[in-house]
Amino acid sequence: MNRYVYLLEEAQGLDRDTLGGKGFGLVEMRRAGLPVPPAFVVTTGACRAYLKEGRPPEGLWEEVEAKVRALEGLTGKAFGRGADGAPPLLVSVRSGAPVSMPGMMDTILNLGLTLEGVEALARATQNPRFAWDTFRRLVQMYGEVVLGVEAQAFEEVLEAAKARRGVPDAGLTAEELEEVAFRYLGLLGERGLDFPMDPWAQLRGAVEAVFRSWNNPRARVYRRIYGIPEDLGTAVVVQAMVFGNLGEDSGTGVGFTRNPATGEKGLYGEYLRNAQGEDVVAGVRTPEPLDRLKDFAPGLYRELEATAELLERHFRDMQDFEFTVERGRLYLLQTRSGKRTAQAAVRIAVEMAEEGLITREEAVLRVDPNALPALLKPAVDPASAPLPLLRGLPASPGAAVGRAVFSNEAAERYASEGLPVILVRPETTPEDITGMYLSQGILTARGGLTSHAAVVARGLGVPAVVGAEGLKVEEDRAWVGEKEIREGDLLTLDGSTGAVYLGEVPLLEGRGAELLERLLSWAEPYRTLGVRANADTPEDARRARAFGAEGIGLCRTEHMFFQEERLPWVRKLLFGSPEEEDEALEHLFRYQKEDFKGILRAMDGLPVTVRLLDAPLHEFLPPGSEAEREANPMLGFRGIRFLLLRPKVFQMQLRALLEAAQELKREGLDPRPEVMLPLVSEPKEVERAKDMAQALFAEYFPIPFGTMIETPRAALLAEKIAPLVDFFSFGTNDLTQMTFGVSRDDAGRFLPRYLEERILFADPTETLDLEGVGRLVRLAAEEGRKSRPGLKLGLCGEHGGEAKSVLFAAEFLDYTSASPYRVLTARLAAAQAGLRKVRA
Amino acid sequence: MNRYVYLLEEAQGLDRDTLGGKGFGLVEMRRAGLPVPPAFVVTTGACRAYLKEGRPPEGLWEEVEAKVRALEGLTGKAFGRGADGAPPLLVSVRSGAPVSMPGMMDTILNLGLTLEGVEALARATQNPRFAWDTFRRLVQMYGEVVLGVEAQAFEEVLEAAKARRGVPDAGLTAEELEEVAFRYLGLLGERGLDFPMDPWAQLRGAVEAVFRSWNNPRARVYRRIYGIPEDLGTAVVVQAMVFGNLGEDSGTGVGFTRNPATGEKGLYGEYLRNAQGEDVVAGVRTPEPLDRLKDFAPGLYRELEATAELLERHFRDMQDFEFTVERGRLYLLQTRSGKRTAQAAVRIAVEMAEEGLITREEAVLRVDPNALPALLKPAVDPASAPLPLLRGLPASPGAAVGRAVFSNEAAERYASEGLPVILVRPETTPEDITGMYLSQGILTARGGLTSHAAVVARGLGVPAVVGAEGLKVEEDRAWVGEKEIREGDLLTLDGSTGAVYLGEVPLLEGRGAELLERLLSWAEPYRTLGVRANADTPEDARRARAFGAEGIGLCRTEHMFFQEERLPWVRKLLFGSPEEEDEALEHLFRYQKEDFKGILRAMDGLPVTVRLLDAPLHEFLPPGSEAEREANPMLGFRGIRFLLLRPKVFQMQLRALLEAAQELKREGLDPRPEVMLPLVSEPKEVERAKDMAQALFAEYFPIPFGTMIETPRAALLAEKIAPLVDFFSFGTNDLTQMTFGVSRDDAGRFLPRYLEERILFADPTETLDLEGVGRLVRLAAEEGRKSRPGLKLGLCGEHGGEAKSVLFAAEFLDYTSASPYRVLTARLAAAQAGLRKVRA
């Protein structure tokens, strides 16, 4: 016969899948010697059997009864019955699936109490008010959770009682609470429902209700969405009640072993005197900081400090624990690893390693690389933040305060007076680049996380909030509903959270760089994947190098074309007469050569991969010529298509690069340029471009010649393309857009809803889609290396600085390339990948 | 020792790769008993050896000399020397690669003639004028082709001589021609070049020149572009000269064994009296139709008729042959399979089969399925066509004459008076649909072969020319350069050729339907691939069924939304308030139900696959709201994305379909609707849509539920999607656009140049790209069938009616779906595929 029920002391060695998360935590706490009220766990196996057969498995109730008897023994109380002046044994019944799962039955407290028991409890505690309140709570919870009565019905009864007296709950007398309890019972009777006055019946009802709640519609939807197996089942924890509401020397609280916001070591949390757990949740009274216990209960505080120490030592991580104090005595009811901010995560990991609690390797693995960019940036102080005016997508981390401007001109005007500005636009285009450079923050009404505004802002390291629904931007003002924002109005935005505030909100400066450096120094030895940066200017290149970039993986020459003084020449080049074209080429050649020299100098001795011109042509159109716009510029006349049909542009760019390198070599430097083709979809394109390049290589010197793989077709034909080049660089931005058939600029209309409704689990423009896009990348890498052994492989989309994507890249690529502020993320993620490989 | 040279009579059994196309044809003609002047072939092997070693292979000249001696024996003449009063043996030297290849040396005639030989020739022919003309021609050809002197230099000398006399060539006297010849020799001398006065040296020079011409830059480029192996080499044909310019009983001509324009059986061709072959090419005199020989040379005509008969019997195909008549005696110089129009191809194939010349199976394989749509359409009569005003892309076959209109209103005005119209637009949008319906022809300035205009025109069966460069369309007029086209002006356009004419040009009515039906009746038994049609209206459905469609593979419901009276409701649905939405849904439900009833009725008993709404939203935007336009509507909020977030639209459409089927069932009909999801890129999308569909299936009855595979990601995740559906339909239009990263609407800016420069060999929006898109289709088909055995697979892009793509589809799909006029193409192509499979 299967065994389904275990006392905590019997359950050592059973796993989380059998005991559920809550049960497992209790067993471990008990094992660590912490004060845990006696309890037993009904395993997930019992639940599975129940759901399969439609009834409890044979022998379950006998086992449960035996364990209740054991609890009686351990507590010296009798279940549901007062005996010998002792209060009755009451229990809490909680669900506890192996995975945390909303939608299931949560908790019934005080179970086992009957009318008879109330009397005994009142007698034993000498507190009839407490006894009736306890009963009243049980009837309500049981009615709601087991019998399915709407909470509203109970609330109305309680509200009416309070209204009669004009007091809060705690103000009701024993008699009044008794009346409420009886009204509750009546309310159930009216519905033909029966509150069992037998403690055993209550227990059976509650356990079965937990079992059944596994199949609540909300729980099912949740499992389907999150891919949680249907057949896990939930465990049930039955635990002897302790009471935090037995007076001023009782209470309930939540503790963290370290500060979850800053990571600072030391007890942190909240406490509510004379209350049961659910009173904290109900928010009727405001809890006080745990610190306060130092004054009125220093012994308890010391005990909690010792508990925190013990929990960390046992679980080897920062813990978030729940406790109750019954008449001065501490009981622990739950523990789990605590959620924390990015800053706290780094600090906790580093300090725990230095305290010897965990190894340095563990510390390296504990920090989410994606959280790093935010660490270096100022943030809105949550303590003093008002309600946001509106919310958009957190496109570029960091917070900024500045004056709203709606044009380049206004940005220049304010900047020349030394005033910080926030550029507010419907969406940005290359036209806005001056304003973006001058801004402390960027706010757009449209666009997704990889829209022009988002990409440029991240490149510049400027905080940005994009796609702020509800924001209407006009020429010289903006509206949020009825609220007008005029030029010069102060705005605060937080690009890490997406919040936008009216006025100036205090900011916290970015901290943690030093701890982060320490963490990275531990991580680096495990990293095998190269990390380069996407950078288009010498400043970006220097910044990236400072963050540890080992080269430039993507230098986008079109970004150089966008600079305001060059735009007229670019337009002449693209749309002018042949004479104008030649004149423009001469000018742009000189600009580009200087650009390249600057970048190559900043990256002296490291590779710099220059991608030849690739911008949808419409981005260069003079204002007012929108009619010439392409229907789908993403899929239009750009990249290699343009370069092959306008060979002079190709030659000008490559010559500028080669000449820049030549001049630096003469200075004794070690420039390492590489040239890369954009938007290839056909091997012949590469062949033709290579012919042109080789003519120039013959004139100067050869440099590595490669191609982006950013159309699905290029990936599918990698085997034919590879022999023509020295390297592939996977442009996962475009590759994602084309593989999904989703334009990053238009995704805002449905992608947020897709994520909300879990049609997609992650934004594929942010986290590389492994099943689709990743499959193409892997296929191209394999087939490319097959036909060209030694082919160098890199990744240079926005994904190049996203942790999960870097993990994927580390499996088989040579390097990843990230925007400068994401270089740290890439380094840590790549190190984690290496570390995991070493461990496996 | 290798053997490199063969007389025609020795070469039987050698293949085309060894003998080249010309040599092979001559050997075969000789074998067939036709009068071929004696000749020998220097094999491609000799060329390969020459190019490898940089000099002629050992023994080559000895072999050549021996064969020249054999020619002497066969002709009774001495090479280059008049002997015993006989004229000297002169030869032609021609290149002849296994594959026809421009850029190589073509022909030198009269080779072997020296100053000494001229005298002998003059004596033997009693025609000094002829002798000097022959020599003059040789020096010029040898100078140009072997010595590389520019043609211009010779032309100037000849022109000067003619100018002095004021006569055409034929008017120059023997003395004058002699002077021209010596001036030619002087011209070579001035350049330090030497015309060899030794016939053997001439021959060696010419043969080596042919060898070397294999590596002419133009020939190399051509081979690289067309993927012709570099190491094939060319053969050289050396043939005893016969002279068509020996008087009025001599001449030269080209014959076809059947009329290449109509296919009519019987000799057809042209003849030029008293001329050498190159005179025809030079166009100095106009040849006369072969028919005329009936009058002045009936014997020759009968001989040519017999020759044609023999050629067809031997080669079992219509032949295009060259011949020369020397003093009344016929010689055949070349033959090859003749090019022919679509109409001729069908007629020739069918009639040859009925004559017993070829089998019915061969007849089926001989016709290019892509040519069929043009067969049913009127065409511009080439005999009476003037120069076109401009040319565009031939987007929808057939010719039309009508009055230029620039708006729906004008189209309605003219149509109401019964006047045919040609709609002229910069490009078309759904707004133009009324005008397009009412037009006899459509002309646009922009857009490619799969632009809106092209796709709709083909669907409607209306001739169209799109992307006509040089056409500038304004609101109420258009310009071609300085030429203005005003409303009401008569235009003629030919959608089969892309030509557009001012005024009315006579049209030829479409013919050949009956012969085509016969051909298809022979073909059908071999077809295993199902053929359905893309049709959105009952008329289209009826037309498609008449053409033999076995169902509707793609019914695009958005096309139903475009109808003018519905657009206001559609806009309310999409952009209106919730009340407006509900009202609109009610109206559109009724429209759609009627649409569906009409189509299901027309296709009674056959499957009708209805694709739920899929149109880029901007196509429905009210005029003037362009600002709301998406950046890349192709990749925007459309298809399943829209349907999942606007479930009422989904439900309305599916309910309309189910109710339409229900009502027809009640009438005793057999409707077979299927429902299909557009633009899926994620299995969860299908899952959610399936939930919605099943709720409606429960209310009515279940119907097959499928999805388009038209994003690369859907193809890559086919294994996960397949278990959720009954069928896949490959939407190769969008799949091609996304796989290449090319928008069909914007491709016009580079795709034509790509095709011209052979960066791409075929327009992938027209012919399925097998390497990239095809690979995805095959992968999805295989993986889909693996996870869902019995999964039905179809193809419904524009490619569904293109022969090569259908061939591919026939390998592993269940059906293809083509626009109605392309159903015939699909049927024939599918039958050819089946036939080839049976044969293999």
Q: Is the pLDDT of residue A25 over 60?
A: yes
Binding-site entries of A for substrate: 556, 611, 710, 731-734
Find, in chain B, the residue whose alpha carbon is nearest to that of A720: B771
**Within a 13 Å sphere around the CA of A143, how many CA atoms are in the beta-carbon half?**
28
Average pLDDT over residues B19-23: 94
Q: Which CATH number fits domain B378-508: 3.40.50.300, 3.50.30.10, 3.30.420.40, 3.40.50.1220?
A: 3.50.30.10
**CB neighbour list of residue A63: distance below 8 Å, 6 or more residues apart:** A3, A4, A5
Length of chain A measured in residues: 840
Per-residue pLDDT at A477: 94
**CB-based contact, B614 to chain A, within 8 Å:** no
- Report the range of poorest mean pLDDT among A362-366, A480-484, A492-496, B574-578: B574-578
**CB neighbour list of residue A182: distance below 8 Å, 6 or more residues apart:** none
Task: Note whether B741 contacts A633, CB cutoff 8 Å.
Answer: no
- Report the range of poorest mean pLDDT among A133-147, B19-33, B618-632, B718-732: B618-632
Find, in chain B, the residue whose alpha carbon is nearest to that of A680: B740
Residue B714 DSSP code: H
Residue A190: how many other CB atoms lie within 10 Å: 9
Find, in chain A, the residue whose alpha carbon is nearest to that of B680: A740
Find, in chain A, the residue whose alpha carbon is nearest to that of B685: A759
Chain A residues with CB-CB distance to B684 below 8 A: 758-760
Torsion of the alpha carbons at B214, B216, B217 and B223, rounded to the nearest 10: -20
**CB neighbour list of residue A74: distance below 8 Å, 6 or more residues apart:** A38, A240
Task: Note whether A713 contacts B688, CB cutoff 8 Å.
Answer: no
Task: Note whether A716 contacts B771, CB cutoff 8 Å.
Answer: yes
Per-residue confidence band for A395, with pLDDT thresholds at 50, 70 and 90: confident
3-state helix, strand, coil in chain B (%, to 5): 50, 20, 30
Taking only the tens place, the pLDDT of each residue in B745-804 is: 888 888 888 987 888 888 898 899 999 999 999 999 999 999 999 999 999 988 999 999
Taking only the tens place, the pLDDT of each residue in A205-214 is: 999 999 999 9
Phi, psi of A421 (to 5 degrees): -130, 155
Chain A residues with CB-CB distance to B720 below 8 A: 771
Q: Is B534 part of any known ligand binding site?
A: no
Per-residue pLDDT at B294: 93
Per-residue pLDDT at B216: 85
Q: How far apart are CA A169 and CA A178, in angstroms?
A: 13
If 0-12 CB within 10 Å is exposed, 13-18 middle and 19+ buried, where does residue B391 land? middle
Per-residue pLDDT at A282: 59
Q: Is B336 part of any known ligand binding site?
A: no
Per-residue confidence band for B623, with pLDDT thresholds at 50, 70 and 90: low
Chain A residues with CB-CB distance to B682 below 8 A: 740, 759-760
Residue B364 DSSP code: H
Find, in chain A, the residue whose alpha carbon is nearest to that of B747: A636
Looking at domain A243-340, its CATH architecture is 2-Layer Sandwich (3.30)
Output the average pLDDT for chain A: 91
What would the 3-class secondary structure string for A78-90 be? EECECECCECCEC
Q: How far away is chain B from the Cα of A652, in angstroms, using its nearest Cα? A: 21
Q: Report the alpha-carbon angle B398-B403-B407, nearest 5.
A: 100
Average pLDDT over residues B630-651: 92
Average pLDDT over residues A228-239: 92
**CB-based contact, B341 to chain A, within 8 Å:** no
Average pLDDT over residues A371-398: 83
Task: Note whether B741 contacts A716, CB cutoff 8 Å.
Answer: no
Find, in chain A, the residue whose alpha carbon is nearest to that of B734: A741
Q: How far apart are CA A404 and CA A489, in angstroms?
A: 5
Q: Is B734 part of any known ligand binding site?
A: yes
B 698-737 residues with CB < 8 A to A: 710-713, 716-717, 720, 734, 737
Residue B186: how many other CB atoms lie within 10 Å: 11
Do residues B446 and B424 touch, judged by C-beta distance below 8 A?
Answer: no
> Rg for chain B (alpha carbons), in Å?
33
Task: Note whether B743 contacts A644, CB cutoff 8 Å.
Answer: no
Q: Is B710 part of any known ligand binding site?
A: yes
Do residues A439 and A491 touch, judged by C-beta distance below 8 A?
Answer: no
Per-residue pLDDT at A485: 95
> What amino acid occupies position B514?
E
Per-residue confidence band for B14, with pLDDT thresholds at 50, 70 and 90: very high
Per-residue confidence band for A164, with pLDDT thresholds at 50, 70 and 90: confident
Task: Note whether B759 contacts A682, CB cutoff 8 Å.
Answer: yes
**Closest to B776 (Cβ–Cβ): which among A716, A757, A773?**
A716
Taking only the tens place, the pLDDT of each residue in B210-234 is: 999 998 888 887 787 677 888 899 9
* Residue whose pair of structure tokens reads 């042509």 in the numeric block: A617
Would you call A468 helix, strand, or coil by DSSP? Answer: coil
Would you call B239 helix, strand, or coil by DSSP? Answer: strand
Q: Is the pLDDT of residue B283 over 90?
A: no
Instruction: Return the H-helix or E-strand segment holding A353.
Output: helix A342-354
Task: Note whether A750 contacts B642, CB cutoff 8 Å.
Answer: yes
DSSP A231-260: T---EEEEEE---S-SSTT-EEEEEEEE-T
Task: Note whether B635 contacts A741, CB cutoff 8 Å.
Answer: yes
Per-residue confidence band for A768, with pLDDT thresholds at 50, 70 and 90: very high
Q: How far apart are CA A268 and CA A288, in angstroms?
A: 11
**Closest to B713 (Cβ–Cβ): which among A681, A685, A740?**
A740
A 769-788 residues with CB < 8 A to B: 769, 771-773, 775-776
A715 vs B104: which has the higher pLDDT: A715
- Report the range of poorest mean pLDDT among A32-36, B326-330, B819-823: B819-823
- End-to-end Cα, chain B, rounded Å: 38
**CB-based contact, A583 to chain B, within 8 Å:** no
Q: Is the pLDDT of residue A283 over 60?
A: no
Q: How far apart are CA A232 and CA A218, in angstroms?
A: 16
Residue A339 DSSP code: P
Taking only the tens place, the pLDDT of each residue in A660-713 is: 999 999 999 999 999 999 999 999 999 999 999 999 999 999 999 999 999 999
- Domain ranges within chain B, ordered by starting residue: 1-114+198-241, 124-196, 243-340, 378-508
Phi, psi of B270 (to 5 degrees): -135, 155
B 673-702 residues with CB < 8 A to A: 679, 681-682, 684-685, 688
Do residues A571 and A552 touch, judged by C-beta distance below 8 A?
Answer: no
Q: Is the pLDDT of residue B281 over 80?
A: no
Do residues A440 and A421 touch, judged by C-beta distance below 8 A?
Answer: yes
Q: How far apart are CA A270 and CA A261, in angstroms?
A: 14
Taking only the tens place, the pLDDT of each residue in A448-466 is: 776 788 878 877 778 999 9
What would you measure as the largest C-alpha separation in chain A, in angstroms?
A: 109
Q: Which two tokens stand for residue B788?
A: 């869902």
Chain B residues with CB-CB distance to A760 below 8 A: 682, 684
Using alpha carbons, select from A344, A381, A383, A398 the residue that is nearest to residue A366: A344
Q: How far apart are CA A830 and CA A306, in angstroms?
A: 37
Do residues B713 and B681 touch, judged by C-beta distance below 8 A?
Answer: yes
Sheet with B91-96: list strands edge to edge. B5-7, B39-42, B235-240, B91-96, B107-111
Taking only the tens place, the pLDDT of each residue in A475-527 is: 899 999 899 999 999 999 998 889 999 999 988 776 667 889 899 999 999 99
Instruction: Look up B314 and say whether it is catalytic.
Output: no
Q: Report the alpha-carbon angle A28-A33-A34, nearest 5.
A: 80
Task: Note whether B635 contacts A633, CB cutoff 8 Å.
Answer: no
Per-residue confidence band for A400, with pLDDT thresholds at 50, 70 and 90: very high
- End-to-end Cα, chain A, rounded Å: 38
Q: How far away is chain A from the Cα of B471, in angstroms, using its nearest Cα? A: 15
Task: Note whether B759 contacts A684, CB cutoff 8 Å.
Answer: yes
Q: Is the pLDDT of residue A70 over 90?
A: yes
Chain A residues with CB-CB distance to B737 below 8 A: 635
Question: Which residue out of B640, B713, B763, B770 would a mutagenesis test of the A interface target, given it has the greatest number of A Cβ atoms within 10 Å?
Answer: B713
Per-residue pLDDT at A308: 96
**Closest to A759 (Cβ–Cβ): which among B685, B711, B737?**
B685
Q: How far apart are CA A437 and CA A460, in angstroms?
A: 7
If 0-12 CB within 10 Å is exposed, 13-18 middle and 19+ buried, where does residue A778 land? middle
Task: Note whether A688 contacts B641, CB cutoff 8 Å.
Answer: no
Per-residue confidence band for A628, with pLDDT thresholds at 50, 70 and 90: low
Q: Report the alpha-carbon angle B520-B523-B529, nearest 5.
A: 105
Would you call B470 helix, strand, or coil by DSSP? Answer: coil
Per-residue pLDDT at A654: 98
Residues of A with active-site annotation: 452, 796
Per-residue pLDDT at B450: 65
Fold classification of B124-196 (topology level): Acyl-CoA Binding Protein (1.20.80)
Per-residue confidence band for A343, with pLDDT thresholds at 50, 70 and 90: confident
If 0-12 CB within 10 Å is exposed, 13-18 middle and 19+ buried, where does residue A71 land? buried
DSSP A791-829: -EEEE-SGGGGSHHHHHHHHHH-SEEEE-GGGHHHHHHH
Find, in chain B, the residue whose alpha carbon is nearest to that of A227: B684
Calculate the CA A118 to chain-centre distance.
47
Task: Note whether B749 contacts A713, CB cutoff 8 Å.
Answer: no
* Residue whose pair of structure tokens reads 């991969």 in the numeric block: A609
Find, in chain B, the residue whose alpha carbon is nearest to that of A640: B750
Chain A residues with CB-CB distance to B718 below 8 A: none
Per-residue confidence band for A577, with pLDDT thresholds at 50, 70 and 90: confident
**CB neighbour list of residue B813: distance below 8 Å, 6 or more residues apart:** B529, B730, B781, B793, B794, B795
Per-residue pLDDT at B279: 72
DSSP A633-653: GGGSS-HHHHHHH-HHHHHHH
Taking only the tens place, the pLDDT of each residue in B173-222 is: 999 999 999 999 999 999 999 999 999 999 999 999 999 999 888 888 77
Q: How far is CA A286 from each of CA A274, A275, A411, rounded to the nearest angstrom?
A: 12, 11, 46
Q: Is the pLDDT of residue B685 over 60?
A: yes
**Closest to B634 (Cβ–Cβ): which among A635, A753, A759?**
A635
Per-residue confidence band for B373, with pLDDT thresholds at 50, 70 and 90: confident
Chain A residues with CB-CB distance to B634 below 8 A: 631-632, 634-635, 741, 743
Q: Given CA atoms B610, B614, B615, B620 in this order, what sign does their dihedral have?
A: positive
Do residues B38 and B196 touch, judged by C-beta distance below 8 A?
Answer: no
Q: Which two tokens stand for residue A81?
A: 């019955």
Q: Report the alpha-carbon angle B264-B268-B273, nearest 5.
A: 170
Task: Note whether A681 contacts B772, CB cutoff 8 Å.
Answer: yes
Per-residue confidence band for A11, with pLDDT thresholds at 50, 70 and 90: very high
Taking only the tens place, the pLDDT of each residue in B233-250 is: 999 999 999 999 888 999
- Report the range of poorest mean pLDDT among A28-32, B625-629, B635-639: B625-629
* Domain boundaries B1-114+198-241, CATH class: alpha beta
